Amino acid sequence: MSQQPKIKVTLLIIAFSLAVVYGVKFFLGIMPQNTLSSGQTRAKGDKGAAIQITEFIDLECPACARGAEYLGRIMAEHPAEIRLELKYFPLPSHRHGFLAARYAECAARQGKFWPFHDALIARQPNWSRLTDATPAFALIAKEILLDPGRLEVCLNDKSVDALIQESHLEGERRGVKSTPTYYVNGKMVVGLQSLEPELVRLLAEIKK
Amino acid sequence: MFDCLRKLKNSRYPLSRIMIGGLFVVSGFEKLVGPYQNFLYVIQNYSFLPFFLGEIAARLLPWSEFFLGIFLVLGLWTKWTLRAVMALLLMFMGVVIQALIRQLPITECGCFGGLISFPLPVILALDTTVFVFAWFLSFRMEEAERCSLDRYLARNESA
């Protein structure tokens, strides 16, 4: 029995399915993707650095903590070559993620985002196990000398939550599903295992 | 062709075929419409492939799931598709089992992209159940191929 009709039907179905998948990807790709202004991001490094990294981070995510430690080391070794911007992407599965982002943003509004971020990351294994992480965050705030009055006002400021949610929405629009997700010179890289070779490659290119 | 579904008295075999296929279509499609890097990250978490093979798997596996699912739903090349699906399921089960044995810190399987996620023991149970269904189907190909393109094309060919 000739298989030709069956092969033709198969090819037709494959072609149609490809059209559907790429059509959906194209449609999703042209959905408006608002980006936060740079005033809303938390950045360090030279603005003109050859390697620009935007990271969507959940401050309670252990993989993000490992990524932060790695980036801290690599940026210390190559201070002029790398710029890092953080955007909040708290995951629903991390009960303290949103609160951690709120505290971090309030620290940012007092010009102390990175000290607060570094302390959060270093102590993550401790506070992530707590039922209520508020005392741990308050302690860090006290240690880095955040103004308690301003902090209190900020923590109740709805614009902080709105900013975190907008950042999360931006990540979703870009296809972020998990953390840490990095955009290295615009290229999406998820997780430290993929980030390391990408950075090694780019740094080698810079040296040439 | 859809008339046949309404007329069937004993439709559990083709329905099982369609449901298994539907599962794979959804799983593959969800991964395909998002950036492949998300699935690459999932694969890397299972720590069983070198980096470059992980990249290849992240790009190819969703397409395999998607097309095998479509073929199963439509009942095209049913016998071979079913075998391929069973092979994929065995592979998934192997990957999950090695992750459980090594006690890897994976809380969500990543099986359906970001659509829905299950802890590893649940996904192992699900994969095993689907495999058993598929295995039973493979012994009842005659019934499984009811309401299938294979049967329709064969009938047209002989007419």
- How far apart CA B130 and CA B106 sit, in angstroms, is 22
Considering the domain architecture, whether residues A24 and A46 belong to the same structural domain is answered as no
Q: Does A24 touch chain B (CB under 8 A)?
A: yes
- Same domain membership, residue A63 and residue A165: yes
How far is the C-alpha of B47 from the C-alpha of B99, rounded, in Å? 8
Q: pLDDT band for B11, please (50, 70, 90 cuts).
A: confident
Mark yes or no for CB contact B70/A13 under 8 Å. Answer: yes
Whether A24 and A91 map to the same domain: the answer is: no
Tens-digit pLDDT string for chain A (208 aa): 567 889 999 999 999 999 999 999 888 875 544 444 444 459 999 999 999 999 999 999 999 999 999 999 999 999 999 999 999 999 988 999 999 999 999 999 999 999 999 999 999 999 999 999 999 999 999 999 999 999 999 999 999 999 999 999 999 999 999 999 999 999 999 999 999 999 999 999 988 7
pLDDT number for residue B127 = 94
Q: Please tell me the predicted confidence (pLDDT) of residue A93.
A: 86
Cα–Cα nearest to B47, from B89, B106, B113: B106
The residues facing A86 across adjacent strands are: A42, A55
**Pair (A8, A95) in one structural domain:** no
Q: What is the pLDDT of residues B120-131, one digit of tens each?
A: 898 899 999 999
**B49: closest chain A residue by CA:** A193
| Chain B residues touching A11 at Cβ < 8 A | none
Cβ within 8 Å of residue A198, ≥6 positions away:
A184, A187, A189
> Residue A5 has what pLDDT?
87
Which chain A residues are closer than 8 Å to B41 by Cβ?
A: 178, 190-191, 193-194
Residues A84 and A111 in one domain: yes
Of A182, A189, A183, A185, nearest in space to A51 by CA: A185
| Domain total in chain A | 2
Three-state secondary-structure class, residue A56: strand
What DSSP character marks residue A178? S
Mean pLDDT, rounded, for B65-69: 97
Q: Decide: helix, strand or coil at residue B90.
A: helix
Q: How far apart are CA A91 and CA A95, in angstroms?
A: 8
Residue A81 confidence (pLDDT): 95
Check whether residue A70 and residue A89 sit in a common domain.
yes
> Are B153 and A14 in contact (CB < 8 Å)?
no
* pLDDT in the model for residue B9: 55
Q: What is the pLDDT of residue B91?
A: 95
The CATH number that applies at residue A115 is 3.40.30.10
What pLDDT does residue B19 have? 93
* 0.90 surpassed by complex ipTM: no
Same domain? A147 vs A193: yes
Averaged pLDDT of chain B: 87
Same domain, A24 and A37: no
User: Is residue A49 located within the same domain as residue A17?
Assistant: no
In terms of residue numbers, what domain contains A24? 1-30
DSSP result, A82-124: EEEEEEE---TT-TTHHHHHHHHHHHHTTT-HHHHHHHHHHTH
> Does residue A3 share a domain with residue A81?
no
What phi and psi values does residue A94 have, to the nearest 5 degrees?
Answer: -105, 110
